Amino acid sequence: MQQNSSIPIVLTVALGVCLLAPAAQAGSCPANLDRATRLVIVTAPSMGSAEASLRRYERASPTASWSSQGSSEPAVIGAQGLGWGHPFAGHAQGSEPLKQEGDMRTPAGIYPLGATFGFAKDRRPNYLHLVPGANFCVHDTNSPLYGRIVPRSTAGNNVSGEDMSAIPGYRHGVVIDYPPNRAAKAGSCVFVHIWNGEGVGTAGCVALPEERVAFLQDWTKGRHAAIVSADTAARFSECLPVGTSVSGRAE
């Protein structure tokens, strides 16, 4: 969801197969991440920082070594930093927050990247053409459709959410398949989308310059996502490339 400025926080985004990440315990990695052949790592200095950097990795097969692609580039995440997503609540330590609806935090953890979307028509598979009333993100924790993208007519007129076609930053975007948990009010509708400027945090998504979002729409097809801060990245050491920089700053 967007805050009229943008979306998430400190991240490590790994790209792989489009399957929902299973519940994770501290020190573990989702099994489906093992099949990833592309990886996007987005990191910020701490769980409370909105500024971040993004780096891409590829490997020839799930058993090959990761190879860095290109250089580090700027990104932003949630205006209030990170909160652990409900499948990864076991990773939280001390006073680290858990993701809650409306808290302006990006859900930390490892999640698949799903459909791409935008305002223009596109013939690519798994693409959402955003038109008025057709793609409504349900934020209402009272709705059984919480966290889903459905037609406005399906959601109902009294249900709160956002018409994606009305958000300028959604001209290009990618869905992060963060599994909704209505009982825990654990956050809804998390995307990679166009930022409102360097350093301007989001309502819980990851945001980049428009040309970089458009690039990732092609590059991330059938990939995976993981989100952590520089100070919590060691808890995913089994999931990340050896020697990965997690400084949280563009180099």
Which residues are paired to 194 by β-bridges? 208
pLDDT of residue 42: 80
pLDDT at residue 224, as a whole number: 67
On the question of pLDDT at 140 being above 70, the answer is: yes
What is the reported pLDDT for 221? 63
In this prediction, residues 174-190 reach a mean pLDDT of 94
- Model confidence at 227, pLDDT cuts 50, 70, 90, reads confident
pLDDT, residue 41, reads 81
Give this prediction's pTM: 0.84
- Residues 41, 33: contact at Cβ < 8 Å? no
pLDDT at residue 5 greater than cutoff 70: no
Beta-bridge mates of residue 207: 76, 193
